[in-house]
Amino acid sequence: MSSSPAQLGALAATDQLFFDRPDATLGRDDAQKLTRTALEGMEDGELFLEYRESESLSLDDGVIRAASFNTSSGFGLRAVLGEETGFAHSDELSRASLLRAVDAVGAVRAGRSGQMAAPPRATNQRLYTAANPLGDTDFAARSGLLSAIDAYARGKDSRVVQVMASLSGEWQAVQIIRADGGRTADLRPLVRLNVSVVVEQDGKRESGSYGLGGRYEINRLLGEETWQGAVDEALRQAQVALQAQAAPAGEMEVVLGAGWPGILLHEAVGHGLEGDFNRKGTSVFAGRIGTRVASPGVTVIDDGTLPDRRGSLTVDDEGTPTGRTTLIEDGILQGYLQDRLNARLMGVAPTGNGRRQSYAHMPLPRMTNTIMLPGNATTEEMIRSVKRGLYAVHFGGGQVDITSGKFVFATSEAYLIEDGRVTVPVKGATLIGSGAEAMSQVSMIGGNLELDPGIGTCGKAGQGVPVGVGQPTLKMTGLTVGGTA
What CATH number corresponds to the domain at position 199?
3.30.2290.10
> Are 200 and 306 in a shared domain?
no
Listing DSSP states for 10-34 in one string gives: HHHHHHHHHTSSTT-BS-HHHHHHH
CA-based R_g, the chain, Å:
24
CA dist., res. 369 & res. 266, Å (int): 9
Which among 249, 252, 149, 258 is positioned nearest to 193, based on CA atoms?
149
Boundary of a domain, candidates 193, 210, 242: 242
pLDDT (0 to 100) of residue 2: 53
- Say yes or no: 305 and 178 in one domain: no
At residue 133, the 3 state secondary structure works out as helix
263 and 222 co-located in one domain: no
Do 450 and 430 belong together in one domain?
Answer: yes
Residue 274 DSSP symbol: B
Q: What is the pTM of this model?
A: 0.94
Q: Are 300 and 324 in contact (CB under 8 A)?
A: no
**Separation of alpha carbons 147 and 152, rounded Å:** 9
What residues make up the domain containing 139?
Answer: 5-242
pLDDT tens by residue, the chain, 485 residues:
456 777 888 999 999 999 999 999 999 999 999 999 999 999 999 999 999 999 999 999 899 999 999 999 999 999 999 999 999 999 999 999 999 999 999 999 888 888 999 999 887 788 999 888 887 678 888 889 999 999 999 999 999 999 999 999 999 999 999 999 999 999 999 999 999 999 999 999 999 999 999 999 999 999 999 999 999 999 999 999 999 999 999 999 999 999 999 988 898 889 999 999 999 999 999 999 999 999 999 999 999 999 999 999 999 999 999 999 999 999 999 999 999 999 999 999 999 999 999 999 999 999 999 999 999 999 999 999 999 999 999 998 777 777 777 888 899 999 999 999 999 999 999 999 888 788 999 999 999 999 999 999 999 999 999 999 999 999 999 899 998 87
Q: Does residue 270 share a domain with residue 190?
A: no
User: Is the CB of residue 127 less than 8 Å from the CB of residue 313?
Assistant: yes
For 376-399, give the DSSP string. Answer: SB-HHHHHHT-SEEEEEEEEEEEE
The structural domain count of the chain equals: 2
Q: Pick from 242, 272, 299: which residue ends a domain?
A: 242
Please provide the size of the chain in residues.
485
- Going from the C-alpha of 61 to that of each of 143, 148, 213, 242, 270, the distances in angstroms are 14, 12, 23, 21, 38
Which has the closest alpha carbon to 45: 365, 465, 363?
Answer: 363
Residue 344: CB partners within 8 Å, gap ≥ 6? 43, 44, 117, 350
Do 32 and 70 lie in one domain? The reply is: yes
Can you name the residues that pair with 332 across neighbouring β-strands?
292, 329
Nearest to 183 by CA among 365, 7, 44: 7
Residues 6 or more apart whose CB falls under 8 angstroms from that of 411 comprise 247, 390, 392, 393, 394, 395, 396, 429, 430, 431
For CA atoms 373, 375, 380, 386, the dihedral sign is: negative
State whether 131 and 95 are in the same domain.
yes
Amino acid 3: pLDDT: 65
Same domain as 258, residue 227: no
Buried/exposed 397-427: b ≥16 CB within 10 Å, e otherwise: ebebebeebbbbbbbbbbbbbeeeeeeebbb
- Domain termination residue (choose one: 242, 258, 285): 242
Same domain, 199 and 268: no
Answer yes or no: do 229 and 256 share one domain. no
Query: Within this chain, do residues 128 and 203 fall inside the same structural domain, yes or no?
Result: yes
Q: Could you tell me if 236 and 334 lie in one domain?
A: no
Would you state the pLDDT for residue 25? 94
Q: Which of 3, 344, 55 is nearest to 192 (CA)?
A: 55
Residue 350 phi, psi dihedral angles, 5° rounding: -65, 150
Which residues 6+ apart lie within 8 Å of 285 measured at CB?
Answer: 272, 273, 278, 293, 333, 336, 436
Please tell me the distance from the alpha carbon of residue 485 to that of residue 429, in angstroms, as a whole number: 10
Pair 6, 126: CB distance under 8 Å? yes
